[in-house]
Amino acid sequence: QVQLVESGGGSVQSGGSLKLVCTINGYTTGRGVMGWFRQVVGQEREGVAGFRVDGSTAYADSVKGRFHISHDNAKNSLYLEMLNLSPEDTATYYCAAGPFTWQTSLLLPATYNYWGQGTQVTVSS
């Protein structure tokens, strides 16, 4: 059974940073596609960052230059480093995993089969 568990969320002031961690059981990181999404209550889930096993990555325009996705195969973990946070980054953040594909965008939820339960990030001004 595949299980993804996010951690590292919290409350920070504008301009601060956080590093989210996704610990994965039953699925090997670097095997297909992996990504981070975020969602605000009442809004659609938004793709933040993703990568494919071939090394290609994608970032939402709103986070380019501030967020960085990485993974550690030895620890079977996925990370999202978030710098220079703003109140607009406030959301519940989810990690996701799925089989390798070129056919859909790394920033689309439909690309992924497995999801974590989410971790809250709150940025105050």
44-87 confidence digits (pLDDT tens):
999 999 999 888 999 999 999 999 999 998 899 999 999 999 99
Tokens encoding 82: 């978030």
In Å, what is the CA distance from 4 to each residue of 7, 86, 124?
10, 26, 27
Residue 30 has pLDDT above 80, yes or no: no
Alpha-carbon gap, residue 19 to 79, rounded angstroms = 7
Residue 38 has pLDDT above 90, yes or no: yes
Residue 29 has pLDDT above 80, yes or no: no
Residue 103 has pLDDT above 90, yes or no: no
Burial (Cβ within 10 Å: 0-12, 13-18, ≥19) of residue 64: exposed
